[in-house]
Amino acid sequence: MISDPQNLLDAQVVLRDGRVVWAAQDEPDLMWALRGGGGNFGIVTALKLRARPYPDKIFGGVLALPYSALQATAKGVSAMSKRTTDPKVAMHVVNLGPGMGMPDQGAKPGIGIMMFDARGEEHARSTDGFAWAFGLEGAQEVSTSTCTLREMHAVAETFRDYQGSNMFWLCAPLIEGDLDEGMLVRAWKWYEDCIEAHPGFGAGSTVLLEFMQKNAFNSSPSRTSTGWPHSGHRHVMQVLLGCKPETAPPNIKDIAMQRLQAVGKEIAGSRETGEYHAGFLHEWNDLREVYGENYERLRELKTRTIDLFDMSNIERELVGLLLVKALNTQTCQATQINRESKVRAHQLKSTLGPMTEIAKVNNPAAAHEASKAMLDSLTCRMH
């Protein structure tokens, strides 16, 4: 993972007391926490990442399948999870629809397999790669090619584009071990039930299985070596519920939260871990399960800055709103926020969650001046 010690080497952080530190050199505990431990430790103004050589002829793209191929696709994905250990082979399995630049396909959408094979096209089309998927009935190559890693990343930009003016909420439970043959079928049933709960979700929702190899997902040596103890798991079930504001009933957030909270049991089943991607947490997440044996250490570290674990939901959102607003007055790269826009407000709340993510700017001095006054006022308010 990008935040693991082998990849994220250091981070420059503006602390509440005004100091600007390189965490790995000056504050090792802070560096540990920054590796997935949530936000509000400070303001990150620069990162030091390890660059690695990588093949420039990656085969990938999208293979589209009809809903009628769901059972066969589920079996193929399950078999591949048991057979393949190559860290240079991965895939996303996602519902076809607006997130893929296609029209809404209703409650029973087709399946998209987003392939990634850094061994090249010949390997991808072999039995060691995705031959099983190419052979499924109704399979169509929507866009497949050999490209660079940068070009491969661009394939996912349709997800960013379609969010547009939608209201949306995300969560991403971690899934342990190999995938059973019913996993994908249950995921599509969860999506179908979401559309039944609110038909408008069809315009902006995604169910996406991030299929990865264990030795790629788990690059940290142990669960306690990073703030977020993701070691031991392999896949992520990332789900997004979104709809257009004009179609949403007054209780749309309650509907979305009920459906998101059901993801673990309804999709992962016996492989539910209680652990979630730390970037998409909500009030109902049990932070002791998410952070496991690291929870108390993270909690203690947060008391040195702003302790968000014991704050009410309103206070959490206030911290995030004030921080982003303050940074935006002197921003270098922060996104402008229109406080009058309901859409932006919903997007911001979804991003903040109970462990608000810190906005990033390029200028430590500007970040310090903008944040210190805000943090001082918050300290006075909280005490």
Amino acid of residue 75 = K
Q: In the block, which residue shows the tokens 């043959």?
A: 181
The domain spans of the chain are 8-51+306-382, 58-288
- Cβ burial of 20 (10 Å; 0-12, 13-18, 19+) is middle
pLDDT at 162: 62
* The pairing of beta strand 140-147 with beta strand 272-276: unpaired
* The pairing of beta strand 140-147 with beta strand 111-117: unpaired
Give the predicted TM-score (pTM) of the model: 0.76
pLDDT at 328: 46
What is the Cα–Cα distance from 136 to 227, expressed in whole angstroms? Answer: 41
Cite the DSSP H helix spans in the chain. 23-26, 28-34, 70-83, 121-124, 131-134, 149-153, 157-163, 183-197, 214-217, 252-261, 263, 287-291, 295-302, 313-329, 342-352, 364-382
For residue range 265-302, what is the model confidence (pLDDT) as tens digits? 899 887 788 889 888 899 999 999 899 999 999 988 88
The domain 58-288 is classified under which CATH number: 3.40.50.9100, 1.10.530.10, 3.40.50.300, 3.40.462.20? 3.40.462.20
Residues lower than pLDDT 50 in the chain: 307-319, 321-383
For residue range 58-74, what is the model confidence (pLDDT) as tens digits? 999 899 999 999 999 99
> Which residues are within 8 A (CB) of 45 and not within 5 positions of it... i.e. 6 or more apart?
12, 13, 14, 20, 360, 361, 362, 363, 364, 367
pLDDT at 279: 85
pLDDT at 106: 92
What is the Cα–Cα distance from 36 to 23, expressed in whole angstroms? Answer: 14
What is the Cα–Cα distance from 289 to 209, expressed in whole angstroms? Answer: 21
pLDDT at 353: 35
